[in-house]
């Protein structure tokens, strides 16, 4: 008989929807022992939460997340609220003996993230940070190709994460919809929101980042605040670029902005090694590009007249996650990355192998984000503490 995984989800925004959808679909696609039960949705906006409960099938509504801590019918607390609240809720949830998942970035800064790691490890509760892009089948395939030793010695890593939704100076900051623009609530701008994704993927594929040198910019210096109604200084980074040195000796460049006109969610990376290269572009998520210079199986170089970038359509059942979906040649979407992450989390509980990135792993991404922000402020190279 299926074991119940009784969920209390906090936050009725965009991310709450992606997670709710994953809980509802898990058993349709993955053969796991647990069956998610949507027990409670929590949001301070009660009418919104009531509507949300109806749409997604939550049994009850809470307006204070503390009620989830004492609730005997909740196993997992899922944090989908603005970044400023992640640490307090996650620590309290762990201390209450609940499993904890949180949206990225993990926290406002590494100091908070360290406390969160301590709390989940002391309590011994399963935990995960939702870096969903790892679960795009093409990106998981990139990891498989690296692990199979097909890239050889890595030289370069190049990542872009570009959006354009804050170019107008009339966009306000703050409030329910635009908290990402208010540093008091988000911790940072594109560094925590976009670069954190790129850094998580980069370190998963290419190992720890040891040092960074960054430049950040705030193009619009003042915006009306949606809550106070006053024009206030903007303290987030609108754009941030950094150079990185990986612990394995390879070099990285990372760029992120919300001012790249025409780019909506343009997330790409390229890894160049001695034996091959990889390229991914989220606008064509069902493809991974691979250049094979040396064949792993034979140890021989591919004949020069046959070399070229291979565009792998990652929809075969042999590709990561794809055996759970449709027939070869048919694609899955953005929402499935959250479903794949949940499946990994649940399988981790069932097999005793914690899903990644757990809080301890995600702490390192937070440290790199902190180092990037410090470097941009001081205009100097900053060590991340990783070796
Ligand atoms: C920002 O616009 C955002 O919604 C991020 O917060 C998400 O993490 C990213 O996946 C899409 O863009």
Fold of 134-383: Dihydrodipicolinate Reductase; domain 2 (3.30.360)
- Kindly state the average pLDDT of the residues 349-361: 97
pLDDT at 238: 98
Protein residue with least CA distance to atom 6, ligand 1: 193
pLDDT at 301: 95
- Residue 171 CA to ligand 1 center (angstroms) comes to 17
Share of the chain above pLDDT 90, in %: 99
* pLDDT surpasses 70 at 258: yes
Question: What is the total residue count of the chain?
Answer: 387
What DSSP letter does each residue of 83-97 carry, written as one string?
GGGHHHHHHHHHHTT
- Residue 193 CA to ligand 1 center (angstroms) comes to 6
Who's near 250: CB < 8 A, 6+ residues apart? 154, 155, 156, 157, 206
Could you tell me if 147 and 205 are in contact, meaning their C-beta atoms sit under 8 angstroms apart? Answer: no
Tell me: the pLDDT tens digits for 37-58? 999 999 999 999 999 999 999 9
Kindly indicate whether the domain formed by 3-131 is annotated with CATH number 3.40.50.720.
yes
Could you tell me if 212 and 381 are in contact, meaning their C-beta atoms sit under 8 angstroms apart? Answer: yes
* pLDDT surpasses 80 at 306: yes
Band (335; pLDDT cuts 50, 70, 90): very high
State phi, psi for 363 to the nearest 5 degrees: -55, -40
Pocket of ligand 1 (CB under 6 A): 163, 193, 265
Domain ranges of the chain: 3-131, 134-383
- Kindly state the average pLDDT of the residues 131-155: 98
Band (308; pLDDT cuts 50, 70, 90): very high
- Kindly state the average pLDDT of the residues 88-102: 98
Band (2; pLDDT cuts 50, 70, 90): confident
* pLDDT surpasses 70 at 349: yes
Distance CA 136, CA 278 (A): 15
Side by side, the strands of the sheet bearing 239-246 are 309-313, 287-292, 276-281, 266-273, 154-162, 251-257, 239-246, 209-217, 382-383
* Rounded (5°) CA angle 356-357-361: 120
pLDDT at 198: 99
* pLDDT surpasses 90 at 333: yes
Distance CA 369, CA 126 (A): 24
Distance CA 29, CA 8 (A): 22
Most informative mutation of 131, 134, 190, 194 for ligand 1 (most atoms within 8 A of CB): 194
- Kindly state the average pLDDT of the residues 139-163: 98
* pLDDT surpasses 90 at 23: yes
Distance CA 310, CA 292 (A): 8
- Residue 357 CA to ligand 1 center (angstroms) comes to 18
Handedness of CA 45, 46, 47, 50 (dihedral sign): positive
- Residue 180 CA to ligand 1 center (angstroms) comes to 9
Share of the chain above pLDDT 70, in %: 100
* pLDDT surpasses 70 at 313: yes
Distance CA 20, CA 387 (A): 38
* pLDDT surpasses 80 at 387: no
Band (106; pLDDT cuts 50, 70, 90): very high
* pLDDT surpasses 90 at 123: yes
pTM, whole model, 2 decimals? 0.98
Range in 204-208, 228-232, 302-306 with the lowest mean pLDDT: 302-306
The C-alpha torsion from 236 through 360 and 82 to 213, rounded to 10°, is 10
Q: Which helix (H) or strand (E) segment is 67 a member of?
A: helix 66-70
Protein residue with least CA distance to atom 5, ligand 1: 193
Structural tokens at position 2: 């299926």
Q: What is the mean pLDDT of the chain?
A: 97
Distance CA 316, CA 94 (A): 39
**Spatial CA neighbour of 99 closest among 120, 70, 81:** 120
pLDDT at 375: 98
Band (1; pLDDT cuts 50, 70, 90): low
Whether omega for the bond prior to residue 357 falls within 30 degrees of 0, making it cis, is yes
- Residue 15 CA to ligand 1 center (angstroms) comes to 9
Distance CA 52, CA 247 (A): 45
Measured from the CA of 14, which atom of ligand 1 is nearest?
A: 4
Protein residue with least CA distance to atom 3, ligand 1: 193
- Residue 197 CA to ligand 1 center (angstroms) comes to 9
């Amino acid at each position: 008989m299926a074991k119940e995984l009784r969920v209390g989800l906090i936050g009725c925004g965009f991310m709450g929807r992606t997670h709710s959808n994953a809980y509802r679909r898990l058993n349709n696609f993955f053969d796991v022992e647990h069956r998610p039960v949507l027990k409670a949705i929590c949001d301070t906006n009660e009418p919104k939460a009531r509507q949300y409960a109806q749409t997604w099938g939550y049994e009850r509504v809470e307006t204070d997340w503390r009620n989830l801590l004492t609730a005997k019918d909740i196993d997992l607390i899922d944090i989908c609220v603005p970044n400023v609240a992640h640490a307090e809720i996650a620590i309290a949830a762990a201390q209450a003996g609940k499993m904890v998942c949180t949206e990225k970035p993990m926290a406002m800064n590494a100091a908070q993230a360290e406390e969160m790691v301590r709390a989940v490890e002391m309590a011994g509760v399963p935990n995960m940070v939702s870096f969903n892009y790892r679960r795009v089948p093409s990106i998981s395939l990139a990891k498989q190709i690296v692990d199979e030793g097909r890239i050889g010695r890595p030289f370069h890593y190049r990542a872009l994460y570009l959006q354009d939704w804050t170019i107008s100076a009339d966009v306000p900051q703050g409030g329910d919809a635009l908290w990402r623009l208010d540093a008091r609530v988000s911790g940072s701008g594109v560094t925590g929101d976009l670069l954190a994704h790129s850094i998580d993927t980069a370190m998963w594929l290419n190992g720890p980042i040891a040092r960074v040198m960054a430049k950040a910019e705030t193009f619009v210096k003042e915006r009306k605040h949606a809550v106070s109604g006053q024009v206030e200084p903007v303290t987030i980074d609108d754009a941030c670029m950094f150079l990185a040195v990986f612990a394995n000796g390879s070099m990285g460049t990372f760029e992120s902005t919300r001012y790249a006109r025409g780019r909506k969610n343009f997330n790409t990376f390229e890894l160049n090694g001695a034996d091959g290269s990889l390229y991914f572009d989220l606008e064509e998520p069902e493809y991974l590009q691979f250049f094979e210079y040396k064949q792993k199986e034979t140890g021989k170089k591919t004949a020069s007249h046959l070399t070229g970038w291979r565009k792998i359509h990652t929809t075969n059942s042999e590709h990561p996650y794809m055996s759970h979906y449709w027939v070869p040649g048919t694609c899955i979407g953005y929402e499935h990355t959250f479903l794949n992450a949940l499946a990994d989390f649940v399988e981790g509980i069932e097999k005793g192998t914690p899903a990644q990135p757990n809080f301890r792993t995600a702490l390192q991404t937070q440290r790199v984000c902190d180092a990037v922000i410090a470097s941009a402020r001081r205009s100097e190279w900053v060590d991340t503490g990783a070796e």
